[in-house]
Amino acid sequence: MDNSLTTITTPPPTVLPVEVPKPSIPISKYTHALIKRYKEGAPVTAPSNVSKISVSQTVSFAAFLYEKMRNAIEYREDHLIRRAAIERILRRRIVLNPNGHDIAEPLIKELLWARYLENNVMPEDKIAEIQSTIDKYFYLKNEFTVGRPSKEQKKLTDWIIEVASCEIEERLSPDPRREAFTNYVYHLLRDNVRFLNGEEMERDVTIYIAVERAFAKSDDPLIRYHLLKLLIPDFIKGNWQDAQTLLPSFGEIYNKIEKDLAHPFLEQLRRFVKRESPPFLILRDLFEMYPKEYEAILENEEKLMYKIDEICRKRYDETRSKLRRAGVRSFIYIVLTKVIFALALELPYDIYILKSISYLPIVVNILVPPAFMSAIILSVGVPGPDNTKRIQTKIKQIITEDPDIPQKEQNQLVLGKKAKVKSPLLNIGFTFMYILAFLLSFGAIIFILSKFHFNIVSQGIFIFFLTLVTFFAYRIRLIAREYLVLEKEGVLEPIFDFFMLPLLRVGQWLSGEITKINLFIFIFDFVIEAPFKAIFEVVEEWIRFVKSKKEEMV
């Protein structure tokens, strides 16, 4: 018998899985309120048995292409394009129909043609609702502007039409979720700002406008409409008879809103909100990308951190793509425009005035500004993992902290402080340095161009496009900073800014002036659009007629 030890293998003891408690996050009451309002703001569809408005897909395709071309010549944020289209339609139709009677149906059809609204979804009773809104604003326009100087009439008419377009869009396609997020950001940031002088209401309104501009990216017409809703909610809910009761106080309301939009602290507050916006933007993305899971994600720290990282990486990739597209589009646009300028101004000046063609200035004028812009854009980097970690920390702080708890004074933005009185000599010195920056920047450019025998026209065109290109490149660089929590300044950046600031200032001014006289917009809006849309209406009615005759045969 083998006396060696026999190894007996026994099965390991059964280990029951132990549920590891998930780290939970205590959500603040403001975040709970946001979740509640977000749920309530879910889109509502009309019942299937209700008659709906539909348009021909044949006409829709042509109108859709037209709108794509029209929107390409005037940049707007995506969420503002439809409102701008409604405003254009109202302005065009007001020419032949100053009282606005029976324009709701063609307005809705134009929006359906252009695919701003989904076809065969809008209930037919919306026509009466939109017409009531149009009647209200047109009554206000006609009664309040009558007898006033023509310049004032135009200003007030523009104001009322813009606000009307906002209410019409809201009634056609309400977006309470976007409004809920704007209010959420406002409530969380308002106590981080203190006015040394002025009432609390003044502070609150100014902060709200800053949040609308910097976070929600609303334009002035949309902000005016939202302020009007806050000031006179009964008017928004009412009809033309409510407009009648508003007439005595409308001038005062108009002046108050315009005064609020021009508040001296507004630009400082806009920059403050802009700096605070990245985590709020990512948080809004989380709600939009996970409409059924966002509440569970917010309450689970591990899951929340992962989702934030996922969203940030996606947004950074999109930012890279946006930079590339913006760079390519701007390069093509500037090169084509420069070729037109060369053919229209430089060549005729060389041929008929100087009697000789200088090819070097023409080539330089065509190639250097877009190449300069490309170099600036290529130098832009997008945020990385460190930025994501900062966003994760900020979002956790946002959703848990209660803003009603008094903030430490050093964490507040205090506005209204008296600026320290600087020495007159110091002020003179800074002013001299600013003027010197202009002289050095433009003087150096003119000196170098003169050395290469650029004539005065070629020099003017070069400086014109170089300043515009610098400003456009700066605007494109801002795309990369949208999700940047903490911006790092390079060692040489202040020196670079010193010499670039004059080019930026002139480019900004030129861009604003060119926008006012955009010939393409005038041609599209007043020469092409009216007959184009009239043809669409005729084709739509013809298709409807053919369809009805076909149905009679069945």
* 454, 359 contact by CB (below 8 A): no
Q: How does residue 84 score in pLDDT terms, banded at 50, 70 and 90? A: very high
If DSSP codes are grouped into helix, strand and coil, which group holds residue 217? coil
Give the residues across from 52 on adjacent strands: 123
Name the band, by pLDDT with cuts 50, 70 and 90, for residue 417.
low
52 pLDDT higher than 60: yes
Alpha-carbon gap, residue 255 to 233, rounded angstroms:
18
Burial per residue of 96-106, b for 16 or more beta-carbon CB atoms within 10 angstroms, e otherwise = eeeebeebbeb
What pLDDT score does 435 carry?
Answer: 85
pLDDT at 55: 84
Q: How far apart are CA 64 and CA 118, in angstroms?
A: 12
C-beta separation of 58 from 539 below 8 A: yes
Question: Residue 129 — pLDDT band, cuts 50, 70, 90?
Answer: very high
**DSSP conformation class of 149:** -
Q: Measured at the alpha carbon of residue 499, what is the angle toward residues 493 and 502, in degrees to the nearest 5?
A: 125
What pLDDT, in 10s, does the model give residues 363-416?
887 778 778 777 777 777 889 999 999 999 999 999 998 877 765 444 567 776
Residues 6+ apart with CB under 8 A from 409: 194
pLDDT of amino acid 15: 43
Distances 132 to 98, 164, 232, 272 between C-alpha atoms, Å: 15, 11, 17, 40
pLDDT-derived band at 467 (thresholds 50, 70, 90) equals confident
What residues are paired with 413 via a beta bridge? Answer: 193
| pLDDT surpasses 50 at 447 | yes
Give me the count of residues in the chain.
Answer: 554
Using the CB atoms, write b or e for 345-359: b if 16+ within 10 Å. Answer: ebeebbeeeeeeebe
Q: What is the mean pLDDT of residues 84-97?
A: 90
Residue 413's SS3 state is strand
d(CA 506, CA 462): 13
Summarize pLDDT for 317-331 with one digit per residue, the tens: 998 888 887 777 777
The proportion of the chain whose per-residue pLDDT surpasses 90, expressed as a percent, equals: 40
**Helix (H/G/I), strand (E/B), else coil: 52:** strand
Bridge partners of residue 123, in order along the sequence: 52
Task: Characterise 148 by phi-psi region: left (phi > 0), alpha (psi -120 to 50), beta (else).
Answer: beta
Q: What is the pLDDT of residue 227?
A: 96
- pLDDT over 70 for what percent of the chain? 81
Q: Using alpha carbons, select from 283, 270, 275 the residue that is nearest to residue 397.
A: 283
| Residue bearing tokens 């009634």 | 171
Helix (DSSP H) and strand (DSSP E) numbers for the chain:
22, 2
pLDDT, one tens digit per residue, over 243-267 is: 888 899 999 999 999 999 999 999 9
Nearest to 403 by CA among 37, 31, 24, 25: 31
Burial class (CB in 10 A: 0-12, 13-18, 19+), 494: exposed
180 against 345, higher pLDDT: 180
Query: Would you say residue 522 has pLDDT above 70?
Result: no
Q: What is the pLDDT of residues 176-213, one digit of tens each?
A: 999 999 999 999 999 888 887 777 889 999 999 999 99
Cα separation of 273 and 279, whole Å?
Answer: 11
Q: What tens digit of pLDDT does each residue of 278-317 get?
A: 999 999 999 999 999 999 999 999 999 999 999 999 999 9
Residue with tokens 């037209």: 66
- 278 vs 431: CA distance, rounded Å: 35
Task: Say what the pLDDT of residue 401 is.
Answer: 85
Q: DSSP letter at 409?
A: G
Instruction: Compute the mean pLDDT over every residue in the chain, rounded to the nearest whole number.
Output: 83
Instruction: Identify the helix (H) or strand (E) that includes residue 142.
Output: helix 126-145
Q: What gap in Å lies between CA 273 and CA 214, rounded to an integer?
A: 6
Q: What is the pLDDT of residues 2-44, one digit of tens each?
A: 444 333 344 444 444 444 445 578 899 999 999 999 999 888 8
Domain ranges across the chain: 294-516
Distance, CA of 406 to CA of 323 (rounded, Å): 41
Beta-ladder partners of 24: 300
Q: For residues 308 and 389, is the Cβ–Cβ distance under 8 A?
A: no
Q: What is the 3-class SS of 305-335, one letter each residue?
A: HHHHHHHHHHHHHHHHHHHHHHHHHHHHHHH
Q: Which of 86-95, 120-129, 357-366, 412-421 has the lowest mean pLDDT?
A: 412-421
Least confident span in 49-53, 135-139, 230-234, 272-276: 49-53
The tens digit of pLDDT for each residue in 231-249 reads 999 888 888 888 888 899 9
Q: What is the 3-state secondary structure (H, E, C) of 222-267?
A: HHHHHHHHHHCHHHHHCCHHHHHHHHHHHHHHHHHHHHHHCCCCHH
Alpha-carbon distance 396 to 490, whole Å?
Answer: 29
pLDDT over 60 (residue 61): yes
Contacts of 135 (CB under 8 A, 6+ apart): 100, 101, 239, 240
Amino acid at 6: T
CA 473 → CA 43, 267, 363, distances in Å? 39, 22, 21
Q: Give Cβ neighbours of residue 407 (< 8 Å, ≥ 6 apart).
A: 191, 192
- Specify the DSSP class assigned to residue 422: P
In angstroms, the CA 527 to CA 81 distance is: 20
- pLDDT at res. 20: 44
